[in-house]
Copies of this chain bind each other. A is one copy, B any other.
Amino acid sequence: MNDALQTASSPRRIRQRNEIAVLQALHHFGSLTRADLARRLRVNRSSSGHIIEALAGDGLVREVESAGRGTANRAGRPGVHLELVPDALGFVGIEIGVEHMGVVEIDLAANVVASEIRPFAGASSDVSVAASEAVRLVLDVVPPERLRRCEGVGVATPSQMDGQGRVRLAPLLGWREVDLADLVRAQLPVRVPVLADNDANAFAIGATYHGQEPPSGVTLFLVMESGVGGGIVFDGKLFRGGNGVAGEVGHLLVPDADGEYRALERIVGLEVLLDRYRRLAGGNPLLSDLLSDVAAGKRAALGVARDWARALAFGLAQACRIIDPDRIVLGGSVAALYAPMAGHVVDAMAALQDSAFLLPEIVVTELEGSGPAFGAACMMHQRYLSLESQRLSETADGDG
């Protein structure tokens, strides 16, 4: 699948390349003129015009209604701004979780046009049941005419993938060595690319998919819920590692308050966190209780939070030595604890490392609804904007 070796370009594929480059640019910058595109892609203005003509013919790009004109403060004829036609295409993301199932549909501009979350007993369901249930949810949420314009379906699950897109192991769901994408593809009424991936990876892509600013640099992403998943995004693309399990920050070994090593997720995960607070403060606290108690400065809460911050800082510092991210994004419900503890985390990280190392920026994201489902949709969107399926399907070269 991974060619590794640079594949040659044929005269016909130049156009495809350039069309994709235009779509990417329009996606990242919102709206540009033909001249802008020509400069940015380093092609002649006339070529830019031809490419736009073709894309407009396909209904993917249109001239923006001269709403926000006025801003022509520069001499010369003002350019006509172009934009993606949002509802030209759609992409669907599915999250199959332990307790719920979510679907998100986005359009060509990566805007969410439909979404729904539904309870689902993932732990006690067979794979094929999960697949058909997921497909049913898709059909409920996405009307047929939009489904026909769908250019990709992504499926995110809490599982280890094997690089070929098959599920190697999903302990929380009890699956093992199944081709989930294939199952979903078979049940869908339309022929469309279907890919499965790890939910943390999907979440990571989704969180970096604000559309604006072209992606660059290295971002480490953490999803902190019961477990702690992670993903690494490198220049906008996932870094999957050799076996597809890169970024598993939750399994890093960090010292606990008692000096023992535990997997990071066994310290900063939701259940463990609340359990510890329960032992100190009694009762049956929720995360929101812990948060408000921390805000109120209650000693027990602060102690638990400080241990949490220390462990998190250790894990992050270790990860920074390996991949040197310039940004760390925290997600999941437990990430809410970061805001009040940010100082502690940063100080602890600084104390753990050589002063020559720079501390990355650490931010908290909040994605409503199903983050992994949105991310899975974004992954298909990204895929469409990189090598494409439909357009490149005619690659049937006669070598025989």
Contacts and interface: CB of A to CB of B under 8 A. Distances in A.
A321 to B, nearest CB: 5
Contacts of A244: 324
A318 B43 CA distance: 46
A255 interface: yes
Interface string A32-45: 00000011111100
A133 to B, nearest CB: 25
Interface string A251-283: 111010001010100000000000000000000
A358 interface: yes
Given A241-B218, A323-B246, A18 B28 contact: no
B24 A5 contact: yes
Interface in A234-250: 234-236, 239-249
B216 A399 contact: no
Interface string A151-183: 000000000100000000101000000000000
A239 B239 contact: yes
A386 B324 CA distance: 25
Interface stretch (A8-16, A73-81, A330-338): A8-16
Which size bracket describes the interface of A in this complex?
35 or more
Contacts of A2: 216, 235
Contact of A8 (B10, B21, B247): B21
A356 interface: yes
A265 B121 CA distance: 47
Contact of A5 (B14, B28, B217, B321): B28
Nearest to A354: B251
Given A4-B216, A42-B397, A321 B261 contact: no
Contact of A323 (B239, B255, B314): B239
B21 A253 contact: no
26 contacts: A2-B235, A5-B24, A5-B25, A8-B17, A9-B14, A42-B397, A160-B356, A169-B356, A171-B356, A217-B242, A218-B242, A242-B327, A243-B324, A245-B357, A246-B322, A247-B322, A248-B321, A248-B322, A249-B321, A249-B322, A251-B353, A252-B322, A253-B318, A253-B352, A255-B261, A318-B322
Interface of A: 2, 4-11, 14, 17-18, 20-21, 24-25, 28, 38-43, 47, 160, 169, 171, 214-218, 232, 234-236, 239-249, 251-253, 255, 259, 261, 263, 314, 317-319, 321-327, 352-354, 356-358, 360, 386, 395, 397, 399
